[in-house]
Amino acid sequence: MTRLETWLEQATRRLSRDSAARVRTEIQEHYESAREEAASRGVSIDEADRLAVTALGDARTANCQYRNVLLTSAEARVLRDARWEARAFCSRPWLKWLLVAIMPAVALFAATIFLRAGATAIARVLLVGGVGMGLWFALPFLPIYTPSRGRIVRCVKWVVLVATLGLAFGSDAVKWSWLLFSCLWPMAWIEWTRVSVRRKLPVAEWPKALYL
């Protein structure tokens, strides 16, 4: 493995495939230019290679800088999943009605039955779950195509989610806090990753899921 390949391997660590390819192309151009400049001074080929790689700077520092401005492999995966979800919803109208109307209606109907039977705790969970489910699954179909609308919807989404879980668990929310954390942590990680993706991508390239 050459000095340049070793440097690139470290500098592109954890970057997405497209980001790594972009870095390799740009660095290759800088490397060739620096090596030609060093060779013009009459140094040996090996020395010119060493000087050209040295001129690129520290690979680990470059990697940190690249990960701040380019998509990482984890961010690319979240973005790819978001686009897949959008295609899945758009290509299956029946799925829209199942998630937005039928499932919440079934939950509300079941809540009514349990309430009449005196099982108020189960009825409360089903009622809150039905309302929260309907709002959550309706978000992808709302006309949200601006960053400002997206910020409002995301705030409302998390308020509704936390309130739904709080009402569902009631006074036992503190007791079951470990379960709440386990449920919310994967969603919080995805949302944090989406924040980073929004910062790196121009708004024109955002899929619908990034607004939500």
* 17 — pLDDT class (breaks 50, 70, 90): very high
- At 44-61, the pLDDT tens digits run 888 888 888 999 999 999
Same domain, 149 and 179: yes
> What global pTM score does this model have?
0.74
C-alpha torsion angle, residues 72, 76, 77, 81 (rounded to 10): 160
Q: Average of pLDDT values for 138-149? A: 82
- The widest CA-to-CA distance across the chain, in whole angstroms, is 93
123 shares a domain with 53: no
Q: Look up tokens 């024109």; give the residue.
A: 204
Do 37 and 79 reside in the same domain of the chain?
no
pLDDT at position 36 is: 87
Question: Are 49 and 116 within one domain?
Answer: no
**181 shares a domain with 93:** yes
pLDDT on residue 144: 83
pLDDT of 96? 66
Q: Are 43 and 98 in contact (CB under 8 A)?
A: no
* Residues, the chain: 212
Look up tokens 């039928």; give the residue: 102
Asked if the model's pLDDT at residue 94 lies above 70, the reply is no
- Same domain? 163 vs 186: yes
pLDDT surpassing 70 at residue 5: yes
Counted domains in the chain: 2
- Mean pLDDT over all residues of the chain? 82
More confident residue, 174 or 60: 60
Q: Give the model's pLDDT for residue 82.
A: 77
Q: Are residues 8 and 93 in the same domain?
A: no
Q: What is the pLDDT of residue 184?
A: 75
Among residues 69, 92, 123, the one where a domain terminates is: 69
The closest alpha carbon to 53, from 124, 2, 111, belongs to: 2
Q: Are residues 112 and 49 in the same domain?
A: no
Q: Is pLDDT at 135 greater than 90 in this prediction?
A: no
- The per-residue pLDDT for range 60-76, each reduced to its tens digit, is 999 999 999 999 999 99
In terms of domains, do 15 and 111 share one? no
**What residues make up the domain containing 177?**
74-211
The answer to which of 10-19, 93-102, 123-132, 176-185 has the lowest mean pLDDT is 93-102
